[in-house]
Amino acid sequence: MMLERLFHLADMFDMYGMLLTEKQRRCLELHLFEDFSLAEVGEAVGVSRQAAYDMVHRSEQALEGYEEKLGLLRRLKVEHEALAAIAARIETLRTEDNAGEVDQILQRIARLLGTRREVQHDI
């Protein structure tokens, strides 16, 4: 599985995973995050390899359907890009007089983005 596809599925799972049935969620967790083969997934949940394949495939399709209808990941990506652009612009406004305030604002933005930002003291 391509790494980009894996990350996309993981993001969709984080966003929409609770909308799956418990069995779908468990199969997809094992396959995506525990790197179980389909045979191992089937063994872990008590179904055949083919049933595990069907469950994983249907679960991925369900996640894709949720994203297509709701678009929460697309919207989140756009918002993150906008916040990152705002943070970059704010960084250019730093002066000796406002460095502490700029750092506080940038740290708040970093928390919203889910990233850590080291406080910069160079002006």
Segments forming the whole domain that contains residue 109: 74-113
Say yes or no: 47 and 90 in one domain.
no
- Does residue 66 sit in the same domain as residue 96? no
Distance CA 16, CA 21 (A): 11
Give residues with Cβ within 8 angstroms of 115, minimum separation 6. Answer: none
Work out the pLDDT band at 123, boundaries 50, 70, 90. Answer: very low
pTM across the whole model: 0.75
| 27 part of a folded domain | yes
Statement to judge: residues 25 and 66 lie in one domain: yes
Same domain membership, residue 12 and residue 63: yes
* pLDDT (average), residues 40-51: 96
Greatest distance between any 2 Cα atoms in the chain: 67
Q: What is the CATH number of the domain that holds 62?
A: 1.10.10.10
Q: Looking at the structure, do residues 9 and 66 belong to the same domain, yes or no? A: yes
Can you give the pLDDT at residue 112?
Answer: 87
Mean pLDDT value across residues 1-17: 91
What's the domain count of the chain?
A: 2
Q: Do both 20 and 45 map to the same domain?
A: yes
For 55-80, write each residue's pLDDT tens digit.
999 999 999 999 999 999 999 999 99
